[in-house]
Structure 1
C-alpha cells in the first residue's frame, strides 16, 4: 500500500466519522477529526452501542449498518498503518539484513579456504604444523620416560635383577614406550620421503628435512622399541633424533 492510498483511506474514515457524528447532535467536526486521526472512534461507538440494543430494527431502519461500515474502514486503515510501519522498519534495517545474509556465505568461504589451505599444505610439505607439534610432544614424553627409567635403574643397581643392572626398562615402562612410539609411528607415516632434501611446515615456519625423512624416522622408532637396547642407548637415539630432525 502506498502512502497516498493510506492517506486517502484515512481521509475517507474522517469524512465518514464526522458526517456520522454530525447527525447525532452538535458535534465539533474538528475535534471528531482529530480523535479519528489518533484512532479514537468514541463518537461512532456511542451510537453503535445504542443501536445494538435493537440490532434487527437498527439494521433495517437505523444506523447500525453505517456504524459497522465505519468500523470496517477503521480496520482497513489500522492494517494499512501497521504495514506501513513494518515497511519503514524493514527499510531502516535493510543494511543489517544484508549483513546477516552474508554471514553464511562468509563462513562457507572461510571453511573452504581453510580446507584448501590444509590440503595444499599437505601436498607441498607432506605434513602439517599440528602434526609436527604432536610429534614434538610425543618425543619429549619418550625422553622423560627414558630419564625416569635410567634413574630407577641406577637406584636399584645394587640388588636389582640382571635386567635392571644392565640399564633396561621395566616391563611397565617398556609397555608405555611402545604406546608412545605407536602414536609417533602414526605421524611418521605421513612424513615426506623424497630422495632429496626438502622442507616441512612447522609452527615456527619451514624446517629443513634430510632425504628419506620417513624411512630414517621409522628406523629410529624401531631402535626405541628394541627391547635389546638399554636405557642409555635409547637416550642416545633420542639425542640423534633431535640432531637429525630439525622440526623436533
Structure 2
C-alpha cells in the first residue's frame, strides 16, 4: 500500500533531514542577527539617549531665560556703556571749536569717529536687527562732516529714537 511505502521509505527520512537543515539555517540566521545587534548596541544607546539630552538642554535654556542668567546683566552693562559713549559724543560736540566752515576740527572729528566706532560695535547686541540698521544710518549721519548743528541734531535723534534700548 502507498501509505506503508511512504512511512517505511525514504520520504520520512528526507522530511527529517529537511527539518534539521531548516533548523540549522534558522540558527545561523539568528546568530548573525544577534551579532549585528551587538555591534550596533552603542548606536542604539545613543539613539535612545538623544531625546532625553535634547529635552534637558531645552529645559535648562528655558530656566536660564526665566531666571535671567548673566546675559541680562551683560545687556545692562553694554547699554550703560552706550549711554556713557553718547555722553562723550555730546561733550565732543559741545566743546568743539568749529572751523570757519562750521565743521569739527580734525582732532575733534577723530575723537568723534572713535566714539561712534565703539557705539557701532555695541549696536548688534543692544537692539533688534531692523532697528540696528536704522541706528547705524543715524550713526553715519552723526559721523558725517555736514556741520556741527547737523551732527548735534543727529545725536538728539539717536537719544530720543533709541532711548528704549539705551537705558
Q: Which residue of the other structure, out of 141, 145, 160, is the alignment partner of 2:88?
A: 141
Question: How far 1:166 sits from its partner (Å)?
Answer: 2.3
Matches within 5 A, 1:143-158: 143-149=90-96, 152-153=97-98
Separation (CA, whole Å) in 2 of partners of 1:191 and 1:239: 18
Aligned residue pairs total: 100
Which one has more relative contact order, counting CA pairs under 8 Å at least 6 apart?
Answer: 2
2:107 maps to 1:172: yes
Within a 5 Å distance, the mapping from 1:198-213 to structure 2 comes to 212-213=130-131
Give the 3-state SS of the residue equivalent to 1:139 in structure 2.
helix
Say if 2:92 and 2:108, in contact at 8 Å, map to a contact too: yes
* Aligned-pair Cα RMSD in Å: 2.3
Please say which structure displays the higher CA radius of gyration: 1
Pairing 1:234–2:151 present:
yes
- The structural deviation recorded for 1:130 is 0.4
| TM-superposition CA deviations, 1:28-84 (whole Å, max 9, x none) | xxxxxxxxxxxxxxxxxxxxxxxxxxxxxxxxxxxxxxxxxxxxxxxxxxxxxxxxx
Aligned-pair CA distance for 1:220: 1.1
Correspondence for 2:61 = none
Structure 2 spans left out of the alignment, 5+ residues: 1-63
| Runs of 5+ unmatched residues, structure 1 | 1-112, 154-163, 195-211
Helix, strand or coil at the partner of 2:126: coil
The structure 1 segments of at least 4 consecutive aligned residues displaced by more than 3 Å after TM superposition are none
- The question of 1:192 aligning with 2:127 is answered yes
Alpha-carbon distance between aligned partners in 2 of 1:192 and 1:132, rounded to the nearest angstrom:
10
Distance in 2, matches of 1:181 and 1:243, equals 17
The SS at the match of 1:165 is coil
SS in 2 for 1:223: helix
Query: How much has 1:243 moved relative to structure 2?
Result: 1.4
The aligned residue for residue 75 of structure 2 is 128
- Would you tell me which structure has more strand in proportion to its own residues? 1
TM-score scaled by length of structure 1:
0.37
Query: TM-score normalised to the size of structure 2?
Result: 0.54
Do residues 216 (structure 1) and 163 (structure 2) align? no
Per the alignment, do residues 188 and 234 of structure 1 end up closer, same or farther by CA in structure 2, a change over 3 Å counting? same
Q: How far has the Cα of 1:246 moved from its partner? A: 1.8
The answer as to whether partners of 1:191 and 1:213 remain within 8 angstroms in 2 is no
Tell me what 2:116 maps to: 181
CA displacement, residues 145-186 of structure 1 (integer Å, 9 cap, x when unaligned): 00112xx23xxxxxxxxxx12210001111111111111011
